[in-house]
Structure 1
């Protein structure tokens, strides 16, 4: 499956240039939130677009960007799989995207938390492989808002120091971030930006919010993606990790990576360390970053690192690193023990 076009909007603005540059430099977009009152919260930081953007408008914009090269007839035959936070307004958002872009419709909206977008990508691959569509757009969006900010803050999941520090000693939690993205997927194209070679999905069911400490669920998802793509772990040259910067999630993910890559450690970073956690949109934002990095032949930095944690021993990318991996993985995990892995092939 080919990635034919991409569009992204994050706290670094509209487009991938600022996002990728920050990923290589390790410079985060975290700043005080101004679109709602954070008084009384443990932190006031997030990575946000300026002002108070409208989710329907932003999603319409990225879908229009990736469909710019299609004829009206092609757009009218192209479904959109949408990942967004569960909300009564989702039907209105979907209708606005259809009206604003001329696509076939939004047959499904994914709301399964932090694996929503990556699950949609996996389903898009199935749609294409079974010939049910000639092309599929996957779109995802989350804009930082007071309800989820307050919920994660009350649960002490947000970093009090306002920095995401995945796999680092002294990490205090995650930092939320705006993320809106779209990708146009096709069965084949002459010059793709990248390919999706495999995908895996598992549910370990260990705990309502905590991952299985041994990483078994995520390891199975990675193994499934590699098996589906016919790729040996030693062929993978980069992992864009889920890496939220929370104590238990990071340690469990390290356990999963050690299970899969015991014979050949792989370079790892979490780009959430610069663009923040975009919840339902995370999987798509991180897929876009991974594809951009493969195209540049460099690996993004694991920003915010303070020093080693014995529970998180990995080959972390702590400085810009030149590399030309044939394959990369992008990983996501969510509450309830849901895990996804996307195997990305370089163009």
Structure 2
């Protein structure tokens, strides 16, 4: 029997510079105060920029991931007996250590089903979520845990700094005039997805997802946002929803000039007339860009905001940019008017994803 379109999310957990746990994330994103501060985890004296959003007492990534998986499983009511046969889909930065990290995390967490690793840059986690939902809908597994983690470290920091992608004024300003770039941030998250047959209670429903590539440039987005527009359109189609049903977009917007403008163009293409009044913000302006983990951290934040009925602000706003004519959430959180939201991500190489969630 075919799985219904909606795939329940039954447990979620996240850690960032705002602290550990869903309560800390929700309270902080609704407060609207960015977590960026000078970096004390490694030496930045040779760098142009000295700012990131880091968790002061962050441990080893393997330990942080294990804690996140366990917390999400407990939130879903999964004791040791119910974790057997559960798939693990892990999104982390690539390297020779990844296979061993994935295997060890599965064993440590008691997840004995299939295990996969995703190292596809900033769409790693969102791609893993889409694949987990597809596995469940196809009937391949009844339950999957998606985990993702990135802790700010010197190598990626140096690369983004050398590429002049980091914000020189210490603030991330998505879609705003005067934006100067992104800032990195810690992010570790885990979510449990289950089939309707085994789910006991849902935090939210994953209703649709879409993926598309534009292959325009190794680093720069296609100016018209055509790849991201196709991903959004696919997510809407899979969910059986129109653009008018969407009540919030947690945008990929990193605070970089070309990328934000291309995303605004994508939203205008995919949402049509609705793009002028669908509330949009990018929570990267608050917790930073968690690279491979960004898609999962932002999905959790989006779900929490929907459930609470308030939409996070787009921090760092200085004024409108004519290239980004969107309904940006400014000044204070805005009441949610519908129970549907999109969480968008894009990566180097022209990869784009859209996840569409609804309140359960």
Query: Which category of TM-score, normalised to the shorter sequence, fits these structures?
Result: over 0.9
Question: Distance in 2 between the 1:52 and 1:344 partners?
Answer: 29
Of 325, 340, 348, 1:327 maps to 340
- Report which stretch shifted further, 105-114 or 191-200: 105-114
Q: Which residue of 1 aligns with 2:89?
A: 81
1:139 to 147, 163, 180: 147
Which of these residues, 162, 169, 193, is aligned with residue 177 of structure 2?
169
Q: TM-score, normalised by structure 2?
A: 0.94
For 2:258, the equivalent position in structure 1 comes to 248
Whether the 8 Å contact between 2:93 and 2:150 is mirrored in structure 1 is yes
Match of 1:151 in 2: 159
Consecutive unaligned residues of structure 1, counting only runs of 5 or more, are: none
Q: Which residue of 1 aligns with 2:212?
A: 202
Counterpart position of 1:345: 358
Q: Deviations over 1:103-125 (max 9, x none)?
A: 11562100000000000000001
Deviation at residue 53 of structure 1 after TM alignment: 1.9
The answer to whether the 8 A contact 2:14-2:187 is kept is yes
2:111 pairs with one of 99, 103, 108: 103
Measure the CA separation in 2 of the matches of 1:263 and 1:311. Answer: 16
Tell me, which stretches of 5 or more residues in structure 2 are unaligned? 1-6
Tell me by how many angstroms 1:93 deviates.
1.9
Q: Residue 22 of structure 1: CA displacement?
A: 2.1
Per the TM alignment, residue 130 of structure 1 is displaced from its structure 2 partner at its CA by 1.2
Number of residue pairs matched by the alignment:
347
CA distance in 2, matches of 1:34, 1:55: 17
Work out whether 1:17 is the aligned partner of 2:16: no
Residue-by-residue CA offset, 1:150-190 (whole Å, 9 max, x unaligned): 00000000001111110011101000000000000012235
CA contact 1:117–1:284 (8 Å) conserved in 2? yes
Deviations 1:48-101 (A, max 9, x none): 111452100000001111222223232121111000000222123223312321
RMSD: 1.2
Which residue does 1:28 correspond to in 2?
A: 34
* Counterpart selection for 2:243 from 215, 223, 233: 233
- 1:203-245 residue CA offsets vs partner (Å, 9 max, x unmatched): 0001111111011110000000000110000000100000100
1:186-225 matches, cutoff 5 A: 186-188=194-196, 189-225=199-235
Aligned mates of 1:20, 1:231 — CA distance in 2: 26
CA distance in 1, matches of 2:80, 2:200: 21
